[in-house]
């Protein structure tokens, strides 16, 4: 129905209905991580709401979900005095520190009984205080010095997982809650990658990115940033009687639609605290966000009151910190690495330093703009950041520690490997070697990529061997690999006859592959595993892809103009075509999509099924699995619900697996997934 034919009263009712529906779906999506409807359906609802509000602007509710997009621009940050101060936490760094704390609390409470705590991840973001009145979001502030913070209502409003209206029946007249705003690791990396490409500022870590995004005067900037929030405390509430414990407080927050970290757990006794720490420490790198430790809080509010505070920290809580992720060291030099596509990456050579237990010798510097932005010189004392499995990076220079004679970094004009001139594409931060396949570094990298596990999976053909083969001139392109013989290989240093035979056997085995893997292995620019799988399943044969024009390419899901351009350029290159033909002539092959196989797709057991992937897959990436499942007509979703048909659980599957078990959803292994996919 067109909104213009509604009268005011009807419009009012319709608005309330739409707002309720959008709020409900936002809650399912962002807080419960369990959407009921597809993104497209949600977009339609949301657009309906926007249209109706456009027609009746006088009826716009300031806390309508559309108003997240209209935080506006603040002129300056207005100071806000916290009615309840925002405290910090005391830290301990090892088990004995935690034991001391535990016994101190027992002494103060005059008890030998096991104590009940709540264990929570210590999120590494920015603390905020958020106020609701009669269930409506009215304001938010930073911690500041703990007593006075800054008003950031306009930017906090944009956070998608923050409800602008509380849910449930007994919503308090006034509620002030505390929580942590953060950025998930993946979203942070993607945001930085986009920024690097555009030559914009790169954030040092997710915490800085979250803090920088909230402290924006213009809410439109914050809206673009992938911010999230978890709440962890009630600071003030109009009816305090119901908050007899932290466990109860968190349960209420959840009931009111506020997002609470799912890792939170009530724990009894010191061994339970230690176990909680150990378990989270182990899973730290797998969590989608960064935590710098765990927080233990005495559960009972009565006990909290007995224990009280010392200066700025409560006596009833403690943070057990993880080993640091940042360290200081000296920049000893900068090397310039040439990537597979010729991109030149400056890499910092560092005085070795242990960061969180791992010795770091190199760190990425991204690109020339980043070196300039950091104002980096050789000899500088620098701050290194390393989190999880992410490549270490230089995040800061300690300017005050700069030694006399620190040298400027000169970006080369020519490729450090083949001496071809370097080129910078306009509006891109990346500098590339123009040597193409005349550049030994690009050849080496292309071959390593070709042989890698997710590409042709040639076991035993590691980096060192590839370097030797290229340097000695035995291999000039990937097809040459299949012409190697035992005599040549076994004559190489550290390569007995047995290893030579193994490499040859692996080469032979790799010839039987899939079109998706082959395309990925060729290393077309911007064609990762998922895109390769999408191209393979769309075109079905290499020939069809080779002759595809731009329009045909653009009709493939996930292929945009940039990918299309690179695919066209790749197949227009004569050398590439020769190499492909040689690969085919030495016997590289894959099963052709016969009509039988296409039919098999139509009857595939997973066709039309709602599938969830969780845990770490070992035989393929999640992206590849997703693309292949989609290709056979399965619907891959991010969260488990009663509607899920099957959950494929890889290693270390956690909460999603548990939820599937609780809901009685079918759980299958990665091996079973592989079997399903091989039946295609
Ligand atoms: S409670 C009364 N719980 O850590 C205690 N803080 O070092 C106040 N933080 O400023 C804090 N996760 O930014 C608490 N689950 C959690 C937390 C947490 C992260 C941060 C918060 C606070 C800082 C204190």
Q: Which range has the top average pLDDT, 62-71, 198-207, 437-446, 619-628? A: 437-446
HEC profile for 399-463? HHHCCCCCEECCCCCECCCCCCEEEECCCCCCEEECCHHHCHHHHHHHHHHHHCCCCCCCCCCCH
Please name the residue whose Cα sits nearest to atom 21 of ligand 1: 127
Q: Which atom of ligand 1 is nearest to the CA of 233?
A: 1
Q: What is the mean pLDDT of residues 280-299?
A: 93
What pLDDT, on the 0 to 100 scale, is given for residue 438? 83
In terms of DSSP bridges, do strands 666-669 and 646-649 run parallel, antiparallel, or are they unpaired? parallel
Q: Which long-range contacts (CB under 8 A, 24 or more apart) does 136-144 make?
A: 136/63, 136/164, 136/165, 136/166, 137/63, 137/162, 137/163, 137/164, 137/165, 139/80, 141/80, 141/82, 142/214, 142/215, 143/86, 144/79, 144/80, 144/82, 144/86
Other beta carbons less than 10 A from residue 658's beta carbon: 13
What pLDDT, on the 0 to 100 scale, is given for residue 258? 97
Q: How confident is the model at residue 680 (pLDDT cuts 50, 70, 90)?
A: low
Among 359-363, 379-383, 617-621, the range scoring the smallest mean pLDDT is 617-621
In terms of DSSP bridges, do strands 148-150 and 79-81 run parallel, antiparallel, or are they unpaired? antiparallel
What pLDDT, on the 0 to 100 scale, is given for residue 181? 97
HEC profile for 509-552? HHCECCHHHHHHHHCCCCCCHHHHHHHHHHHCCHHHHHCCCHHH
- Report the alpha-carbon distance of residue 153 to residue 136 in Å, rounded: 13
- Report the alpha-carbon distance of residue 195 to residue 189 in Å, rounded: 10
- Report the alpha-carbon distance of residue 456 to residue 204 in Å, rounded: 35
Other beta carbons less than 10 A from residue 331's beta carbon: 25
With 50 as the cut, is the pLDDT of residue 3 above it? no
Q: What is the mean pLDDT of residues 419-429?
A: 86
Q: Which long-range contacts (CB under 8 A, 24 or more apart) does 14-19 make?
A: 14/52, 15/49, 15/52, 15/53, 15/56, 15/59, 15/61, 15/64, 18/45, 18/48, 18/49, 18/52, 19/49, 19/61, 19/64, 19/65
Spacing of C-alpha 546 from chain mean position: 34
Q: How confident is the model at residue 1 (pLDDT cuts 50, 70, 90)?
A: very low
Q: Would you put residue 110 in left (φ > 0), alpha (ψ -120 to 50) or beta?
A: left
Measured in Å, residue 231 CA sits from the centre of ligand 1 at 10
Question: Residues for the chain: how many in total?
Answer: 680
Interacting residues of 30 by C-beta distance below 8 A, sequence separation 6+: 160, 161, 259
What is the phi/psi pair of residue 142, to 5°?
Answer: -80, 170
Q: Does ligand 1 lie within 6 Å of residue 123's CB atom?
A: yes
Other beta carbons less than 10 A from residue 175's beta carbon: 24
Q: How confident is the model at residue 382 (pLDDT cuts 50, 70, 90)?
A: very high
Complete DSSP assignment for 265-297: EEEESHHHHHHHHHHHHHHGGGSSS-EEEEEEE
Measured in Å, residue 361 CA sits from the centre of ligand 1 at 33
Burial class (CB in 10 A: 0-12, 13-18, 19+), 67: middle
- Report the alpha-carbon distance of residue 72 to residue 155 in Å, rounded: 9
Q: How confident is the model at residue 235 (pLDDT cuts 50, 70, 90)?
A: very high
Testing ligand 1's pocket by substitution, the residue of 88, 250, 312 carrying the most ligand atoms inside 8 A of its CB is 88
Among 230-244, 462-476, 552-566, 601-615, the range scoring the smallest mean pLDDT is 601-615
Q: Which atom of ligand 1 is nearest to the CA of 86?
A: 8
Provide the 3-class DSSP secondary structure of residue 85. coil
Mean pLDDT (the chain, rounded): 90
What is the phi/psi pair of residue 234, to 5°?
Answer: -100, 120
With 50 as the cut, is the pLDDT of residue 596 above it? no
Q: How confident is the model at residue 602 (pLDDT cuts 50, 70, 90)?
A: low
With 60 as the cut, is the pLDDT of residue 17 above it? yes
What pLDDT, on the 0 to 100 scale, is given for residue 430? 86
With 50 as the cut, is the pLDDT of residue 20 above it? yes
**Active-site residue, selected from the candidate residues 122, 321, 393, 656:** 122
Q: Does ligand 1 lie within 6 Å of residue 127's CB atom?
A: yes
Q: What are the start-end ranges of the E strands in 564-645?
A: 610-614, 635-637
With 70 as the cut, is the pLDDT of residue 57 above it? yes
With 90 as the cut, is the pLDDT of residue 179 above it? yes
Query: Active site includes 122?
Result: yes
What is the phi/psi pair of residue 660, to 5°?
Answer: -60, -40
What pLDDT, on the 0 to 100 scale, is given for residue 389? 58
Which secondary-structure segment (H or E) carries 12?
helix 8-26
Q: How confident is the model at residue 679 (pLDDT cuts 50, 70, 90)?
A: low
Provide, for the chain, the percentages of residues in helix, strand and coil under a 3-state DSSP scheme, each rounded to the nearest 5.
40, 25, 35
Spacing of C-alpha 74 from chain mean position: 30
More confident residue, 195 or 294: 294
Measured in Å, residue 313 CA sits from the centre of ligand 1 at 10
With 90 as the cut, is the pLDDT of residue 623 above it? no
Q: List pLDDT tens digits, range 199-231.
A: 777 887 888 899 999 999 998 889 889 999 999
Q: How confident is the model at residue 663 (pLDDT cuts 50, 70, 90)?
A: confident
- Report the alpha-carbon distance of residue 45 to residue 58 in Å, rounded: 20
What pLDDT, on the 0 to 100 scale, is given for residue 407? 95
Q: List pLDDT tens digits, range 480-500.
A: 999 999 999 999 988 889 999
Q: What is the mean pLDDT of residues 603-615?
A: 85
Burial class (CB in 10 A: 0-12, 13-18, 19+), 21: middle
Q: Does ligand 1 lie within 6 Å of residue 128's CB atom?
A: no
């Amino acid at each position: 129905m067109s909104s213009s034919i509604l009268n005011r009263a009807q419009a009012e009712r319709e608005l309330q209905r739409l707002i309720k529906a959008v709020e409900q779906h936002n809650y399912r999506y962002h807080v419960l991580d369990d959407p009921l409807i597809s993104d497209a359906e949600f977009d339609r609802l949301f657009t309906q709401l926007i249209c109706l509000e456009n027609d009746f602007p006088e009826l716009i509710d300031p806390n309508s979900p559309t108003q997240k997009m209209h935080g506006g621009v603040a002129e300056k940050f207005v100071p806000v005095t916290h009615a309840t101060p925002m405290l910090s936490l005391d830290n301990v760094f090892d088990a004995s520190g935690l034991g001391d704390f535990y016994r101190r609390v027992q002494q103060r409470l005059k008890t030998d009984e096991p104590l009940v705590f709540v264990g929570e991840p210590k999120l590494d973001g920015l603390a905020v205080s958020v106020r609701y009145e009669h269930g409506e979001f009215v304001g938010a502030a930073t911690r500041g010095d703990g007593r006075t913070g800054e008003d950031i209502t306009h930017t906090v409003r944009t956070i998608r997982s923050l409800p602008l209206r509380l849910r449930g029946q007994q919503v308090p007249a006034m509620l002030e809650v505390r929580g942590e705003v953060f950025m998930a690791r993946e979203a942070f990396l993607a945001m930085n990658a986009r920024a690097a490409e555009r030559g914009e500022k790169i954030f040092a870590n997710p915490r800085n990115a979250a803090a920088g995004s909230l402290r924006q005067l213009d809410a439109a900037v914050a809206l673009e940033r992938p911010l999230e929030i978890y709440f962890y405390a009630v600071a003030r509430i109009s009816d305090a009687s119901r908050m007899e414990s932290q466990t109860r407080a968190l349960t209420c927050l959840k009931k009111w639609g506020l997002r609470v970290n799912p890792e939170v757990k009530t724990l009894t006794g010191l061994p339970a605290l230690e176990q909680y720490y150990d378990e989270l420490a182990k899973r730290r790198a797998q969590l989608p966000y960064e935590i710098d430790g765990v927080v233990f809080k005495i559960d009972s509010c009565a006990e909290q009151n007995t224990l009280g505070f010392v200066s700025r920290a409560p006596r009833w809580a403690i943070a057990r910190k993880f080993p640091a992720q940042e360290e200081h060291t000296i920049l000893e030099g900068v090397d310039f690495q040439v990537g597979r596509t010729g991109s030149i990456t400056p890499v910092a050579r560092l005085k070795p330093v242990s960061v969180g237990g791992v010795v770091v010798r190199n760190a990425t510097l991204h690109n020339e703009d980043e070196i300039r932005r950091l104002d980096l010189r050789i000899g500088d004392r620098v701050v290194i950041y390393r989190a999880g499995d992410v490549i270490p990076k230089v995040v800061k220079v300690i300017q005050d520690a700069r030694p006399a004679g620190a040298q400027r970094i000169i970006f080369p004009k020519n490729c450090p490997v083949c001496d071809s001139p370097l080129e910078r594409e306009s509006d891109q931060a990346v500098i590339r070697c123009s040597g193409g396949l005349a550049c030994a570094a690009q050849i080496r990298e292309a071959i390593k990529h070709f042989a890698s596990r997710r590409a042709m999976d040639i076991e035993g053909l590691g980096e060192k061997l590839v370097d030797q083969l290229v340097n000695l001139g035995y291999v000039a392109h990937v097809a040459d690999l299949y012409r190697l013989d035992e005599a040549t290989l076994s004559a190489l240093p550290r390569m007995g006859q047995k290893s030579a035979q193994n490499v040859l056997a692996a080469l032979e085995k790799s010839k039987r592959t899939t079109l998706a893997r082959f395309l990925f292995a060729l290393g077309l620019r911007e064609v990762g595993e998922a895109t390769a799988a999408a191209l393979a399943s769309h075109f079905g044969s290499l020939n069809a892809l080779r002759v595809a024009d731009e329009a045909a390419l653009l009709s493939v899901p996930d292929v945009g103009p940039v990918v299309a351009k690179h695919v066209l350029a790749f197949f227009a290159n004569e050398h590439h075509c020769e190499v492909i033909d040689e690969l085919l002539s030495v016997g590289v092959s894959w099963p052709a999509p016969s009509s039988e196989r296409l039919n098999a797709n139509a009857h595939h057991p997973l066709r039309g099924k709602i599938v969830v992937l969780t845990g770490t897959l070992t035989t393929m990436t999640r992206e590849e699995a997703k693309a292949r499942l989609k290709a056979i007509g399965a619907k891959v979703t991010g969260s488990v619900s009663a509607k899920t048909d099957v959950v494929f659980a890889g290693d270390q599957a956690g909460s999603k697996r548990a939820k599937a078990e609780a809901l009685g959803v079918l759980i299958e292994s990665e091996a079973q997934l592989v079997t399903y996919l091989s039946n295609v």
